[in-house]
Amino acid sequence: MNKTQLLSACASAVVLLSGCAAMNEHNISARQNKTSAVIGCAPKDISVEMTGIETWTATCRQKIFHCKIVPGVMDTSATCAPALR
């Protein structure tokens, strides 16, 4: 691989990773909004850790919840259960 090909490959990787980061930020924001309706915390107060494509752990006010997507008729919603300690 010559220098030009290497630079092109690196640039492509940066663009790909940037897209993934933006997509992840969107997913987290969407999860915060869905979780808020279920656990009663404001979206800005919810910390989200993605655990799968349709699952995540949400933390609010030191309480931890395991959440997942529930397909709905008009929109997808979420269900969350308190984590066992």
Each residue of 61-72: pLDDT tens digit?
999 999 999 887
Place 4 in a pLDDT band, splitting at 50, 70 and 90. low
Q: Give the per-residue pLDDT at 6.
A: 42
Number of domains the chain is built from? 1
Domain ranges, residue 24: 3-82
Q: CA nearest 77: which of 23, 25, 34?
A: 34
Per-residue CA distances from 23 to 19, 27, 45, 72 (Å)? 6, 6, 20, 22
pTM confidence score: 0.67
Both tokens assigned to 84 = 């066992």
pLDDT reading at 14 higher than 60? no
pLDDT above 70 coverage of the chain, percent? 65
